[in-house]
Amino acid sequence: MLETVIQQALNALQLGSYYSLIALGYCLVYGVLLLINFAHGDIFMVGAYIAFFAATFIMGQHAFIPANVSPLAQIACTGFFAIILTASAAYIIGRVTREGFRQTRAFKLLIGGLFVLFSLLVYFLGKGFVLPKGADRWVVMGATVPLTMLLTAAVGIFIERVAYRPLRQKGANRLYVVITALMMGIILEYGNLSALGASRIPFPPLIKTAIFEIAGVTVTNLKLISIGVAFAVFGLLQWIVTRTKLGMAMRAVSYDKFAVPLMGIPLDIIIVFTFFLGSSMAGLAGMLYAMNFPVLDPFMGALVGWKAFVAAVVGGIGDIRGAFVGGFLLAILEIVVAAVFSSELRDLISFTILLGILTMKPTGLFGTAKTTKI
């Protein structure tokens, strides 16, 4: 009996770690922008797909450049990807350096050098990055994690840039932003479905699954990694938000969005940084989820994302500790419901809880009520 309880508790911790990782993203964005980023669950799904493509690319199963075409076509392909990479690099460099740097000779030389570098990189790596036989799977994993996080963060920032920022600058009604976010999520789901087809993709095993058995309780190393990562990420975010200058700026933005630019804080950069943090955590969660439940489909993000949102609301949206605790609470509750009643009632129960909390105590467990002046 005790073993079952501990076993189920471990399962709940594992499930809760995904909910928490995604809920942290909801929470960061809501805390800073007061925007419920409904597309976040689908960014999690995109993260899982990016992890799949990154991992298979590193293991040499997919390539940018098809090997069975003529050398000229290969060079054209290389040029295409190199131009895209150089252009984005030039854009980023132009944005982060001081004004006027773009006109200097050094900038042009730098871009030229980058183009040569990218061409060479794409040409030699693009045919498929083949790891030597018997290379440790941990190497693959170590390369996939940062790649996934960066690319997923890029997706999140892109959405912020094209969809949310124009509305924000126009000073549009908040509901319009909510609708945009909701629609962005649907676009990600169905764009993926249209691009990759409806077939489910099996996720390759990145590291060897090891099963430990301690006093009748079985644990896999993947499970332990998920739980550990969730706690580590929580610690990291808590440190960033409460101890660093960037975190202070984030809190300032959330406190008063209009006074902050007057104090010399670059509002847009802080918001982009927030989206970077949230989306990269969603990407990490997507990868961990895909490693544990190794089947990808375009709609995997919708339900998990919703559950994570429920978790964020349970904890009090806008507070990192709340989101973290809420994720685990919801997971424990779901496991209990599935064990006592039936697993089909899980979604029903979690949404009913959401409804109840929003009706009774909209601030959640950790949130504090805000007063509105009339």
Report the interface residues with another protein, using CB under 8 A. Answer: 35-36, 163, 166-167, 172-176, 178-180, 182-184, 186-187, 189-191, 193-194, 197, 306, 309, 313, 344-345, 347-348, 351-352, 354-355, 358-359, 362, 374
DSSP classification of residue 229: H
Q: How many of the other CB atoms lie within 10 Å of CB of 316?
A: 22
Cα–Cα distance measured from residue 309 to residue 357, given in angstroms and rounded to the nearest whole number: 13
Residue 150: CB partners within 8 Å, gap ≥ 6?
280
Query: Which of residues 167 and 332 has its CB atom nearest to another protein in the complex?
Result: 167
The minimum distance between CB 103 and another protein, in angstroms, equals 32
Nearest Cα neighbor of 278 from 28, 51, 16 is 28
Query: What residue spans of the chain are helical by DSSP H?
Result: 2-33, 40-58, 71-96, 105-125, 137-159, 165-170, 174-196, 221-243, 245-255, 267-292, 300-315, 320-340, 346-360
Question: In terms of CB distance, is 166 or 205 closer to another protein?
Answer: 166
- Residue at token pair 């058995």: 213
* Spatial separation of the C-alpha atoms in residues 331 and 269, rounded to whole Å: 34
Which of 285, 264, 283, 265 lies closest to 275, judged by CA? Answer: 283
Closest distance to another protein from the beta carbon of 174 (Å): 6
Helix (H, G, I), strand (E, B) or coil at 103: helix
Beta-bridge mates of residue 202: 295
Question: Rounded to an integer, what distance in angstroms lies between the CA atom of residue 24 and that of residue 323?
Answer: 6
**Residue 254 in contact with residue 318, Cβ under 8 Å?**
yes
> 50 vs 317, which CB is nearer to another protein?
317
Q: Round to whole Å and give the CA distance between 319 and 333.
A: 21
Q: For residues 253 and 265, is the Cβ–Cβ distance under 8 A?
A: yes
Q: How far is the CB of 231 from another protein (least distance, A)?
A: 28
In this complex, which beta carbon is closest to another protein, that of residue 182 or of residue 252? 182
C-beta of 14 vs 37, nearer to another protein: 37
Minimal distance in Å, beta carbon 194 to another protein?
5
User: Nearest distance from residue 342's CB to another protein, in Å?
Assistant: 9
If the CB atoms of residues 186 and 269 are measured against another protein, the closer one turns out to be 186
Nearer to another protein (CB atom), residue 29 or residue 240: 29
Minimum Å distance from CB 374 to another protein?
5
Q: Measured from the CB of residue 302, what is the shortest distance to another protein in angstroms?
A: 8
Minimum distance, C-beta of residue 198 to another protein, in the bound complex (Å):
8
- 168 vs 223 by CB, closer to another protein: 168
DSSP string computed for 124-159: HHTT--PPPTT--HHHHHHHHHHHHHHHHHHHHHHH
